[in-house]
Chain A
């Protein structure tokens, strides 16, 4: 039981890294990036490519994934997202086009990865060998510790930055009102570029961790990962880091329990069931405050 708890926390940490990026992009920029799952997967793929040709250490591989994810996300912003934002149309229409464009990018990324991996799974070999320790009835490896520290640590740092630092507070106050940002002197360009880069970088980090932790991944995993990230955001609320942490923990715990008690085929359904239940009861998520589409009358 304790072991499962530990495993859940590790998985949750990865989910957090993955979901916070998507949540921030949504909350601050109003962009629902459906390519987020593909970015995670592709960053891991880039890390694999790099680790395959050189003998890479863990930090190098993580950086590779981080950069790959960040750059991919940034390119999406500099390309289609920005162009759409600056074109004519009402908010809903632009939002829809952004979502559709992100689906297109997702398709491209998955297809490229599938093409070069032969649509099979790939691994990221590193020089890092995890050592396991036994504490009571629980086996814990240093890899797991690293994942937990990085995941929860980064989210704590991000949350602190958003609530304490001046820039962070300004960003927080915006909640996706990019025009007000301009009035407040924050460059829309810088804000959106930075947000997307960070969002993708976190996803890339999560991707590399995931591959190393699970041993392998494949291009098709992008879709179920996307659903998981969405479940986390729905539970925790868009733009809320604390909510994402809780959401990730809950989801990871449930998935771990289901996987260990059934043969694991039902686990994608969990994320979705959560989404449905939460959205039916509280359409704006359990912890969110604004930036939602809820009927108010």
Chain B
């Protein structure tokens, strides 16, 4: 078991980081916003953590924590600034944001290491650190999927007018989700940089956006579990299919995204849970008005 772990440690760590990134995207998707800002904050998190550590300003643990908090606040502020921008416009803004960050980073001269990026960042993060962090992230995502916050999110996602009519302030929920998304992305970036020791401006670009979106779509955008499953699949698949070139892999991903978006928008997890539900309901007949007594018993099963 130990041998398997040691020979696959890089993949496992990449999977965990991808999972966090996927969750950062899923968190805004559950309120109906397709945002790649999480990827942008991934890049910011990478650079911020790297710079804090390289210049000896903070020990690595605090560097990640401070970065995460700062990015969370920044993301929240960004959501405030963009609160009047909706739907597809918002998507494009986040897309443009990521591209601009790439441009800024590659033109940052000495400070950001320019187009070649930064090297020699001490590798201080171990897998168990990642597991702890992702566990915390999962808890936050899971808790906000249930209860009143979960219902509010679903209402916002599906029918904003209805949400408003039952007292749900769209702005607040959206901003909170954006902030969470920023934090998750930034943490993923910080962990990545402290695991692999380098960062360059093209890490957080279009290809990563597409990969993470594919992961979320494949696994299932409705819950954090879908994002995690998708991320693990997408990250580990290339090594399983290492005989194929990068471009072929991209083609396959693209095709997968198209097929899923068209026929199975809730991904593998959505497909599985829908099948399960259909199975359950075929075993239990639907309630009718004629037999309220019997239905009451069965409905509580």
- In the complex they form, do A and B come into direct contact, defined as C-beta atoms under 8 angstroms apart? yes
Partner of B86, one of A84, A105, A294: A294
Q: Would you call B281 an interface residue if the criterion is a C-beta within 8 Å of the partner chain's C-beta atoms?
A: no
- Known A-B contacts A107-B210, A114-B247; the reply to A227 vs B86 at CB < 8 A is no
- Known A-B contacts A96-B34, A269-B103; the reply to A104 vs B88 at CB < 8 A is no
Contact in complex: A111, B250 (CB < 8 Å): yes
Tally of A-B Cβ pairs under 8 angstroms:
143
- Known A-B contacts A107-B254, A223-B99; the reply to A83 vs B262 at CB < 8 A is yes
Q: Which 3 A-B pairs have the closest CB atoms?
A: A104-B257, A107-B254, A272-B96
Q: Would you call A280 an interface residue if the criterion is a C-beta within 8 Å of the partner chain's C-beta atoms?
A: yes
Contact in complex: A104, B258 (CB < 8 Å): yes
Partner of A293, one of B88, B104, B210, B256: B88
**Whole-angstrom distance between the alpha carbons of A111 and B206 in the complex?**
12
Q: Would you call A196 an interface residue if the criterion is a C-beta within 8 Å of the partner chain's C-beta atoms?
A: no
Identity of the chain A residue whose Cβ is nearest the Cβ of B170 in the assembled complex: A295
- Known A-B contacts A106-B254, A265-B107; the reply to A283 vs B86 at CB < 8 A is yes
**Whole-angstrom distance between the alpha carbons of A26 and B46 in the complex?**
36
Interface SS majority for chain A? helix
Hey, what's the 0/1 contact readout for A12-28 against B, CB within 8 Å counting as 1?
A: 00000000000000100
Partner of B96, one of A98, A271, A293: A271
Q: Would you call A179 an interface residue if the criterion is a C-beta within 8 Å of the partner chain's C-beta atoms?
A: no
**Whole-angstrom distance between the alpha carbons of A230 and B32 in the complex?**
21
Contact in complex: B99, A272 (CB < 8 Å): yes
Hey, what's the 0/1 contact readout for B237-275 against A, CB within 8 Å counting as 1?
A: 000000001011011011111100111010000000000
Q: Would you call A32 an interface residue if the criterion is a C-beta within 8 Å of the partner chain's C-beta atoms?
A: yes
Hey, what's the 0/1 contact readout for A249-274 against B, CB within 8 Å counting as 1?
A: 00000000000000001101101110
**Whole-angstrom distance between the alpha carbons of A99 and B209 in the complex?**
14
Partner of B34, one of A100, A108, A271: A100
Q: Would you call A7 an interface residue if the criterion is a C-beta within 8 Å of the partner chain's C-beta atoms?
A: no
Q: Would you call B144 an interface residue if the criterion is a C-beta within 8 Å of the partner chain's C-beta atoms?
A: no
**Whole-angstrom distance between the alpha carbons of A275 and B247 in the complex?**
31
Contact in complex: A115, B247 (CB < 8 Å): yes
Q: Would you call A80 an interface residue if the criterion is a C-beta within 8 Å of the partner chain's C-beta atoms?
A: yes
Contact in complex: B217, A100 (CB < 8 Å): yes
